[in-house]
Structure 1
Amino acid sequence: MNWKTDLKLADLDAATRLEVTCKRCGLCRYEASAALMRDPELTQAYLDEVEHTLRCSDRVCRGAVRVALVHDSKTEGFVGGMA
């Protein structure tokens, strides 16, 4: 069991973005969970099922993809120094 088998697409916030990376060619794209929820067969799907259903957006490749959650956190630089 992992987080993809425990988490449904419907459990995510509408603003949550998923990083979809092709395993074959490495093409990366970002999909909003709200956009994926428009597909009726994905509304109650677990994230591993979503990963299995999605394909590469390159029309020549059409390879299998890897799905990852994107965490939007503001990264601040190191504010410190040697005394």
Structure 2
Amino acid sequence: MQFMVIERFRAGARPVYERFGEQGRLMPDGLEFVASWVTADLGRVFQVMECDDVTLLQRWVASWEDVADFEILPVAGGGAAVADAVLGN
């Protein structure tokens, strides 16, 4: 399953990117990074992550919650979501 993770930096981007540079993403085994985008003001990051067990996301967030706040939303590709929800495929 894929998740959109919206990360809001608590004290700016520097603490987050310093830790990332030193320690990497700190992801547990079984959690996969798919893609990410950062806002132009470096205040938020939007990441697509993939896993079969949502507790892996919770463990990952615990490694970062001192420097960022997280919103996690399950997502599906637009075409698949429309086909399932609207067309009943």
Question: Which one has the bigger strand percentage?
Answer: 2
Fold agreement, TM-score > 0.5: no
TM interval, short-chain normalised: 0.3 to 0.5
Higher relative contact order (CA 8 A, sep 6+): 2
Question: Which one has the bigger helix percentage?
Answer: 2
Question: TM-score scaled by structure 1?
Answer: 0.38
Q: Rg bigger for which structure?
A: 1
Question: TM-score scaled by structure 2?
Answer: 0.36
